[in-house]
Structure 1
Amino acid sequence: MSNRKPIYNLDPKAYEGMLVLENYLNTSLLTNTHKELIKIRASQLNGCGYCLDIHSKDALAYGEDPRRLFVLAGWRETTLFTAEEEVILALTEAVTFIHQGGIDDALYAKATALFDEKYLAQLLMCMVTINAWNRIGVATNLKAK
């Protein structure tokens, strides 16, 4: 049994800083579908069951097709995602694994062809934020209930 404590118990101000980012994303132009695909895919890659639970429920509440969630880990092998969503998923993977070479220029060019600068900035901030949440969740051993 782990005796790790949640960040919000250890340092509420640090947790509040994360909430500022999350609240910003809630006022962004990002669609709920785009946000939840990013959050679920990054959480899959980072092994954060707590975030997977939360964001899968949120996606379903927003009307996401469960079938797309079932195959999200294999998104490249399906035709269930739009061209925009495929670029978002590829970017999410690149940001999550930034230490493996960053975002390749061809992928970034595809993103700039599909999204305006502000939307792309908001997509990237969503990816950065969920990766931070995942690291908090995994590091503090948060569990889905």
Structure 2
Amino acid sequence: MSHARREYADFQALAPDAYQTLAALGALAAKAGMDKQLIELVKLRASQINSCAFCVQYHILQAERLGVPVDKLNLLVAWREAPQFSTRERAALAWTEALTLLTGGVGDDVYEQARSEFSDKELTYLTSAVASINAWNRFGAAYRWTPPARQMQAGAAAS
């Protein structure tokens, strides 16, 4: 059985500057006016890929709080086959997967799909959200943070 090596609160206490920097980066896309539900889907999908239990649970709870339909949350892992996702969401999820996996770079087809749905500014902020969650996932997975309880504290800042 897996056990936490350190907890999320330990990260906040041990490296408050790193914590604040990641939190600020994670908040940029929403502050720039991007759809918060879309950003949560992106963060959840990257967290699924990276097997970060803490971040998966955290972003499920955030998405629920923002009103993301349950069927989207349940089918996110198979978004390509699920009709619930819009063209814009599909472009964002493809972009997220390409940036998260980075095995062969980001293909022209994925870039063109993203550019057809997002402005240059939006795509830059979407990229910042993907970069942020991937950094959070590295901490959460490395330290095996305990996933938050359903009754998560309001105002928790993980991104």
- TM-score normalized with structure 1 length: 0.92
* Deviation of the 1:135 alpha carbon: 0.6
1:1-145 equivalences in 2 (<5 Å)? 1-4=3-6, 6-98=10-102, 100-145=103-148
For 2:124, give the aligned amino acid: A
Q: Secondary structure at the match of 1:130?
A: helix
The 2-side partners of 1:3 and 1:59 are apart by 27
| Greater Cα offset, 56-65 or 17-26 | 17-26
Pairwise CA RMSD? 1.4
* Deviation of the 1:111 alpha carbon: 1.2
Count of aligned residue pairs for this structure pair = 144
Per residue, is there more helix in 1 or in 2? 1
For 1:48, give the aligned amino acid: C
The 2-side partners of 1:2 and 1:134 are apart by 14
| Greater Cα offset, 73-82 or 2-11 | 2-11
- TM-score normalized with structure 2 length: 0.84
The answer to whether the 8 A contact 1:7-1:140 is kept is no
Q: Secondary structure at the match of 2:79?
A: helix
The 2-side partners of 1:84 and 1:132 are apart by 24
Identity, % of aligned positions:
34
Distance 1:26 1:74, change over 3 A: same
For 1:92, give the aligned amino acid: T
